[in-house]
A and B are shown apart, each in its own frame.
Chain A
């Protein structure tokens, strides 16, 4: 049975509420303690489910009726500034064109309220991503044999052949591969760090979505490329400029 103070510390880690010293101690313990890591992931999944459920409520809001209840503007007020448009940058001819257009993409949604249809597994991944720091994976340095074992474990769940060579990304260091489940669908997360220690994720979910070409999305400081093929959807995400993410993702978008 896990002591309550451990549970509270893990929850505080997920909620980004630990100070640096507490975080360092806990991360060091996590690196050594598989049971503690499993408990952390369970708490993260509970949290993600709760957030996704709260977000589902947003879609229930009777917006038309509520908008009608906003008192009319005073006639002496100048017109409202135009709200920024909300859009996704479609990479019509693949990532290369995306590089030329980098900087044009932006998603200025408000928690999904006004944005395009939510793709909630990606939101869940991004939710986790917000919690990662350069410390998160600092102590995870699997050798090649361990990488093979980790990747075999996630391959078996998502049904995609993942090997150290196939997931290798020049400029990034492999850190770990983890199995998740999003609303019953197997979700693999392969974590890397760049030279500065910044976490970068490559995610695969077996969700049966139809084939879709790579798209570049920039959102609140994160950039990601997303595509679907063979009944799997993929996402490659990092807290870095779009152009850098697009460059790093290129080998993966060609292999998967």
Chain B
């Protein structure tokens, strides 16, 4: 067992918990599912810590695990159970009661993001919030760069309609 990798993975989980949760809530459109998804990611990442290449980006590695669990387990289960998905528009909100900086613009933008298809939400998050290049996003999502660009164009169009 590579102890250095285990340390990095554990540290990464603690450091990137909020970002993992944000990715989970953007993917799943559900705060409950996001909690489950992050929890499953923590367990899986520690189980597979020996596979993590020490010195590489642990945040990206954790995101890959989270996405895999979402696609192969949690989303599939939710579809099987016919629970469907709630409208992300209602989930991607922030609680302004205790967060004075949050304002109407933020709420409007998040509602607009919530109305986007999952693939567009995910692409926007990875490129704009997580700093993936188009090529990195294409690799992470398994699609051509052109698809990343067309998804981002759709996101931009949705934001432009807010004006």
Q: List chain A positions with a Cβ less than 8 A from chain B.
A: 7-8, 11-12, 15-17, 42-43, 46-47, 49-63, 65-67, 69-71, 73-74, 77-78, 80-81, 83, 110-111, 113-114, 118, 120, 183-184
Contacts and interface: CB of A to CB of B under 8 A. Distances in A.
Contacts of A43: 156
B109 A49 contact: yes
Given A50-B155, A66-B39, A56 B99 contact: yes
18 contacts: A17-B133, A46-B159, A47-B128, A49-B159, A50-B109, A54-B129, A59-B102, A60-B95, A62-B35, A66-B42, A69-B42, A70-B10, A70-B14, A73-B10, A74-B6, A80-B7, A83-B15, A114-B15
Contacts of A70: 10, 13-14, 17, 42, 46
A241 to B, nearest CB: 24
Given A46-B156, A53-B106, 5 more contacts: A51-B128, A54-B128, A56-B101, A69-B38, A110-B19
A59 B92 CA distance: 12
B60 to A, nearest CB: 13
B115 to A, nearest CB: 13
Nearest to B155: A50
B105 A66 contact: no
Contacts of A78: 3, 7
Those 6 A-B pairs whose CB atoms lie nearest each other, nearest first: A54-B129, A61-B18, A53-B109, A61-B21, A69-B39, A113-B18
Contacts of A69: 35, 38-39, 42
In the complex, which range does the number of interface residues on chain B fall in?
A: 35 or more
Contacts of A61: 17-18, 21-22
B88 to A, nearest CB: 12
Contacts of A51: 128-129
Interface of B: 3, 6-7, 10-11, 13-22, 25-26, 35, 38-39, 42-43, 46, 92, 94-95, 99, 101-103, 105-106, 109-110, 113, 124-125, 127-129, 133-134, 149, 152-153, 155-156, 159-160
Contacts of B153: 7-8, 11
Given A43-B156, A54-B22, A83 B110 contact: no
Contacts of A56: 94, 99, 101-102, 106, 110
Q: Which interface residue of B14, B39, B113, B128 has the most chain A CB atoms within 10 A?
A: B128
B35 A65 contact: yes
B112 to A, nearest CB: 9
Contacts of A114: 15
Contacts of A62: 21, 35
B129 A81 contact: no
A58 B7 CA distance: 24
B1 to A, nearest CB: 9
Contacts of B19: 58, 110-111, 113
A67 B92 CA distance: 21
B54 to A, nearest CB: 13
Contacts of B26: 54, 57
A80 B19 CA distance: 21
